[in-house]
Amino acid sequence: MNLPLHYIARNLWTRRLTTALTAGGMALVVFVFAAVLMLDAGLRRTLVGTGSEDNAILLRQGVQTEIQSGVSRDQAALIESQPTVARNAKAEPMVSKEIVVLIGAPKKGDNKPQNVVVRGLGEVGIALRPQVKLIEGRWFAPGASEIVVGKGVHAGFEGMDVGGSTRFAGRDWRIVGVFDGGASAFDSEAWGDVEQLGQAFRRIGYSSVIARLAERSDFARLKASVESDVRLKLDVKVEPLFYEEQSKALSQFLSILGIALSLIFSLGAVIGAAITMYAAVSNRIGEIGTLRALGFRRAAILWAFLLESVLLALLGGVAGLAAASFLQLFTVSTMNFTSFSQLSFGFHLTPGIATQAMVFAAVMGVVGGFLPSLRAARMEIVDALRAG
């Protein structure tokens, strides 16, 4: 490559309207591509951020979600007595026995009922989630029909405000606070006292048990101990792994959707780039002949036009990525099919996604520019000089 870069860049600038239109097509594709990846990244961050490496979650063997799971009181007591479980200052085991149920609540906007996860837990359960912070009101009182809602629920559902109440399981539940789940899946939950919720939903046992490990390295021992105890027919996982599995189906769906959309759109953008580059070659046949006469080789011509096409695509890539980065201001609320509940999460732009988007743009540039560049490189000098 020995043609100066400013030769390439200025040719794009000279026909800036065409350049803008073609790059705009590329930008659209990169926008869609990046948006879907950002959604996927946001989803993962939300769900993975929900768990902590210090916590182990125990569910009935073979189930995927807390909703489907059941853990008896006896089993929960056996877990509390595990030596690998951490204890607090009062020497109580740091084990949270929780009930997880779904209720229907009207969404803001269309008033259509959607599932909301209601989690019953106690003081320990709150302590095990340090990322969850109360931002309004107070926590629910033990023994009271009170709930505290995540900020996603507060924002997305009708009547989920402090001072109000909501009715489910045959009772009215007072809403006494709003918490911020630290961009985790807890934002899309409502929390209340585990004993009160158990009574209201007529549950004898629990849904899941979350145990703080004495040491992270104790996980393997806890797992071995749980699996070897015939009374404990439970699966045990570290929380981040559990939550990652929760997001798998939705994440796969998003990835496939994203790839399919991007491929379809990119076909149009690539054809657009090819048309633009063919026109550029036709307009510069005389120039090509001159450059070749001056001693530039065919390969230099090929590179120059290919680079022009790639530069064009990268311009589109930067524009598309810039537009996509604004999506981070928005939050998406969608059904997580694994848990059948609403989950809200944001778009999250990572350096990896930015790189992938730019590589994708560059590939579109290469594919769109290849045939026109080849045509430019294959011309005979005298023919090019006569035609120009």
Partner 1 sequence: MSDTPRSDAAVAGDAALSPPPIVRIRNLSKHYVRGDQAVPVLTDITLDIPEGDFLALMGPSGSGKSTLLNLIAGIDKPSGGELTVGGLNIAQLSEAELADWRAANIGFIFQFYNLMPVLTAFENVELPLMLTDLSRSDRRERVELALSLVGLADRMKHYPNELSGGQQQRVAIARAIITDPTLIVADEPTGDLDKKSAADVLALLQQLNREMGKTIIMVTHDPGAVRAARHVTHLEKGELLGTEVVSGE
Ligand X SMILES: Nc1ncnc2c1ncn2[C@@H]1O[C@H](COP(=O)(O)OP(=O)(O)O)[C@@H](O)[C@H]1O
User: Which residues of the shown chain bind ligand X in the complex (CB under 6 A)?
Assistant: 382-383
User: Is the CB of 120 or the CB of 369 nearer to partner 1?
Assistant: 369
Closer to partner 1 by Cβ: residue 193 or 308: 308
Q: Is 382 in the site for partner 1 (CB under 8 A)?
A: yes
**Secondary structure string (H, E, C) spanning 356-387:** HHHHHHHHHHHHHHHHHHHHHHHCCHHHHHHH
The least CB distance from residue 376 to ligand X, in Å, is 18
Q: Which stretch binds partner 1 (CB under 8 A): 23-31, 44-52, 83-91, 286-294?
A: 286-294
Distinct helix (H) and strand (E) counts, the chain: 12, 12
Q: Considering beta carbons, is residue 11 or 115 the nearer one to partner 1?
A: 11
- Could you say which of 68, 72, 114, 290 contacts partner 1 (CB under 8 A)? 290
The CA–CA distances, whole Å, from 109 to 102, 112, 159, 237 equal 21, 8, 12, 38
User: Are the CB atoms for 21 and 12 separated by under 8 Å?
Assistant: no
* Residue 293 lies near partner 1 (rule: CB under 8 A): yes
- CB closer to partner 1, 7 vs 253: 7
- Indicate which of ligand X, partner 1, none lies near residue 368 (CB less than 5 to 8 Å, by partner kind): none
- Give the residue with the Cβ less far from ligand X, 322 or 382: 382
**Left if phi > 0, otherwise alpha if psi is -120 to 50, otherwise beta: which for 88?**
beta
CA–CA separation, 18 and 332 (whole Å): 35
Out of 64, 298, 323, 331, the residue judged to bind partner 1 by CB under 8 A: 298
Under the criterion CB under 8 A, does residue 4 sit at the interface with partner 1?
A: yes
| DSSP 8-class letter at 273 | H
Distances (CA, A) of 69 to 206, 319, 357: 8, 47, 40
54-83 burial, b if ≥16 CB within 10 A, otherwise e? bbbbbbbeeebbbbebbbbeebbebbbebe
Q: How far is CA 241 from CA 62, 95, 96, 208, in A?
A: 15, 19, 18, 15
3-class secondary structure, 212: strand
Amino acid 126 reads I
Read off the DSSP letter of residue 206. Answer: B
Q: At closest approach, how far in Å is the CB of 296 from partner 1?
A: 7
Binding partner at 2 among partner 1, ligand X, none, C-beta below 5 to 8 Å by kind: partner 1
Residue with the two structure tokens 């579109």: 364
Size of the site for partner 1 (CB under 8 A): 25
As measured in angstroms, the least distance from the Cβ of 309 to ligand X is: 28
Q: By CB under 8 A, is residue 388 in contact with partner 1?
A: yes
Chain position carrying tokens 């046949």: 285
Does position 17 interact with partner 1 (CB under 8 A)? The reply is: no
**Joined tokens for residue 54:** 């210090």
Q: Which stretch binds partner 1 (CB under 8 A): 32-40, 110-118, 282-290, 343-351?
A: 282-290
**Residue whose C-beta lies closest to ligand X:** 382
In the complex, what is the shortest distance from the CB of residue 300 to partner 1, in angstroms, rounded to a whole number? 9
For 210, the enclosing helix (H) or strand (E) is strand 208-212
Residue 299 Cβ vs partner 1, minimum distance, rounded to whole Å: 8
Least distance from partner 1 to the Cβ atom of residue 376, Å: 14
Q: Does 279 bind partner 1 (CB under 8 A)?
A: no
Q: Is 385 one of the binding residues for partner 1 (CB under 8 A)? A: yes
For CA atoms 108, 255, 102, 96, give the dihedral sign: negative
Given ligand X, partner 1, none, residue 292, with its beta carbon under 5 to 8 Å by kind, binds partner 1
Let me know: does 211 contact 79? Beta carbons within 8 Å. Answer: yes
Name the minimum Å distance from CB 386 to ligand X.
Answer: 6
Interface segment toward partner 1; rule CB under 8 A; list 27-35, 217-225, 293-301, 361-369: 293-301
CB 323 within 8 A of CB 354: no
Residue closer to partner 1, measured from CB, 327 or 384:
384
How far apart CA 11 and CA 14 sit, in angstroms, is 5
Q: Taking contact as CB under 8 A, which single stretch among the options 4-12, 108-116, 252-260, 326-334 is the one that binds partner 1? A: 4-12
* Rounded-to-integer distance, Cα 354 and Cα 374, Å: 30
Task: Give the C-alpha separation, 378 to 210, whole Å.
Answer: 68
Residue 381 sits in the site that holds partner 1 (CB under 8 A): yes
List residues near partner 1 by CB under 8 A: 2-4, 6-7, 10-11, 13-14, 286-287, 289-298, 381-382, 385, 388
